[in-house]
Structure 1
Amino acid sequence: MKITQIIKTAIISMFLIFISCNQKKENDTEETVKTENTSSIEETKPKEKEITYDTNIPKTIIKAIAEASGGWNTLWNLKDVEYTYAYEQADGKKDISIERYIFDGEYSWGKYTTHQVNVLPEGNQPIIQNYAKGKASVSIDGKEITDEKIIGTADFLRQVNYYWFMMNFKIGDPGTAYEYLGQEVVDGKTYDKVTVSYDSQKTGKEANDAYILYVNPETKLIDQFYFSLPAWGINDIVLLMKVKYTEIDGIQVPTHRYAYIPNNKGEYAEEPSLSEISTDVKFNNGFKPDDLKI
């Protein structure tokens, strides 16, 4: 299998472990304090929340990642998102889509204007995918498609793309176990390393991926992580993903992701095997489920 095929499969497949977990709004409502202005009109302001981050309790690091990313409350109140998503391989082939998600119910919709990798690479017609209430649907050039293979691809990608956007909020879903591995310096920065593994009884899978998160103790965000993919014969935690964030409406959005796979000597190329770039990110668009049809 070619490197680009491996990394493509790896990056997509890694999310299957999380898909079965339903998104839940955490009960972490922010406290408010009231202040009185010169007109005696009271207004509420969010009280700055102190994030617990204790390396002796790895679970607090995982919770801190979600809080540092903006917090469930902030994300939930934004209700939905739209952005342009460019998924590009090292050979230049790419899929470009407009992505739309509604957080309550995990609705996922995508319109592909360019599709050369995962979505019907042999064609150039506009393709719309939708995932709602556990069911995927597809249209090509405005015509609904019933082909099971095409629908299966849409089912896969709609859930994967949604999870990828939400990873920092969902990395602590039920069935997850954590272990602190100490610190490591990468490119002059000191990171806390946390392993993430899964309880197969809760995930329903015999073989589960494993991760080593590199958490920046200053920002409390995941700057990079390594992962395994035993389902595809990659049992060692050697696949590498680097992440860069952009703050938008109080959320740290992972707008730039770069995937690397080592060669036979365990060396990583300077250029990524796969790039995933999100632009024009807009929250709170007022989308309703009926707006996300094919």
Structure 2
Amino acid sequence: MRHFNLNKMMNYSKLILMVITSALITACGNKENKTKDTQKTEVSKSIEFQNKGHELVYKMTQKTGSYQDLLKLKDIVFNYTYRTPDQKEDVSIESYIFDGELSHATYIKHQRTLPELKGKMEQAYNGKDFWVKIDGKDITAEDAIESVKFTRKTNFYWFAMMQKLLDPGINYEYLGQNSVNGTNYDIVKITFSAAEDIATDIYQLYINPETHLVDQFLFTVVSKNVTDPILMRVTYEEIDGVLLTTYRKYTKSDWKANVINDVWVEEITKDVKFNQGLDKALFNK
């Protein structure tokens, strides 16, 4: 009768179990990756793209994250510097709640925004009203409130622009390609649906075909009577799973993205902290 070595059998059994377990883990991992890829493909197929431009913007948001990703992060607090070529600055602590696009800022310096109002400035948008205080006192002058409307809307939009480019009411037009500094960019024109008597801004996105990201874009500011293009260049930083344009600079340009005046305004975002549990009371007077 042949004698079996029990220890060898146990070791062999362990080896078989390890191989099976490893195969199962690998299979599950592959299945999970395939599921994620399949889900992305299915979502992409379920969207009815207006045109190639719309599809390129969608692919861009797959890299940066969408506004839904910001909503999951609930809110944000960060330090923001706005610096003009004469070295005058706005320096503020910005606080946003993404649901409703609520916006609040406490200014450490405000040399560019309402500089005529001396003292500590606080301003906000609570989803309905805009307000501003200097040293805790309400400022109700119409020109001050109009300035706050522009600043609160603009600061929020520049922060979340890439994630908001799939908002309803946006029109996309693919304009072809343009080579800038050796990169052959896809150009997508963005316009916004509005009442016929309301002029809206125009954007032209320069989408890098390698990274699928917007490296720069042209824009107008119709509300300030700026209809000639301004060129914005951006640098990204990944924070909590989303890509944010934490450094931006802009200057005058033509519609071919040629710089007219090599003098830049800078916008710098630092110390970003998501999901801070902000109380909506912060945004009320």
Q: Normalised by the shorter chain, which TM-score bucket?
A: 0.7 to 0.9
| Partner of residue 252, structure 2 | 261
Matches within 5 A, 1:1-294: 47=36, 50=40, 57-119=52-114, 121-201=115-195, 205-229=197-221, 234-236=226-228, 238-262=229-253, 267-272=259-264, 274-294=265-285
Taking a change above 3 Å as real, the CA distance of residues 150 and 271 of structure 1, as seen in their structure-2 partners, is: closer
Counterpart contact for 1:114–1:124, Cα < 8 Å? no
Counterpart contact for 1:135–1:155, Cα < 8 Å? no
CA distance in 1, matches of 2:262, 2:100: 39
Greater CA drift, 157-166 or 222-231: 222-231
TM-score, normalized by length of structure 2?
0.76
- How many residues are aligned here? 246
1:163 deviates by: 1.5
Counterpart contact for 1:102–1:288, Cα < 8 Å? no
| Partner of residue 17, structure 2 | none
| Partner of residue 12, structure 1 | none
1:239 deviates by: 1.6
1:122 deviates by: 2.9
Taking a change above 3 Å as real, the CA distance of residues 279 and 205 of structure 1, as seen in their structure-2 partners, is: farther
CA distance in 1, matches of 2:220, 2:74: 33
Counterpart contact for 2:76–2:97, Cα < 8 Å? yes
Taking a change above 3 Å as real, the CA distance of residues 200 and 182 of structure 1, as seen in their structure-2 partners, is: same
CA distance in 2, matches of 1:131, 1:230: 21
Taking a change above 3 Å as real, the CA distance of residues 293 and 229 of structure 1, as seen in their structure-2 partners, is: closer
CA distance in 2, matches of 1:233, 1:122: 22
Taking a change above 3 Å as real, the CA distance of residues 233 and 142 of structure 1, as seen in their structure-2 partners, is: closer
SS at match of 1:117: coil
1:173 deviates by: 2.4
SS at match of 1:47: helix
CA distance in 2, matches of 1:151, 1:55: 37
Give the superposed CA RMSD.
Answer: 2.8
CA distance in 2, matches of 1:161, 1:59: 24
Structure 2: tracts of 5 or more residues without a match: 1-23, 26-31
CA distance in 2, matches of 1:142, 1:199: 38
User: Aligned partner of 1:92: which letter?
Assistant: Q
SS at match of 2:100: coil
Taking a change above 3 Å as real, the CA distance of residues 218 and 288 of structure 1, as seen in their structure-2 partners, is: farther
What are the Cα deviations for residues 144-188 of structure 1, in whole angstroms up to 9, with x where unaligned?
Answer: 333333233223211221112111122232332212122222222
Identity score, percent: 38
CA distance in 2, matches of 1:221, 1:267: 21
1:70 deviates by: 1.7
Structure 1: tracts of 5 or more residues without a match: 1-35, 38-43
Counterpart contact for 1:55–1:61, Cα < 8 Å? no
SS at match of 2:209: coil
SS at match of 2:90: strand
CA distance in 1, matches of 2:82, 2:225: 24
The structure with the greater share of residues assigned to helix is: 2
Taking a change above 3 Å as real, the CA distance of residues 98 and 234 of structure 1, as seen in their structure-2 partners, is: closer
Larger Rg: 2
Greater CA drift, 249-258 or 142-151: 142-151
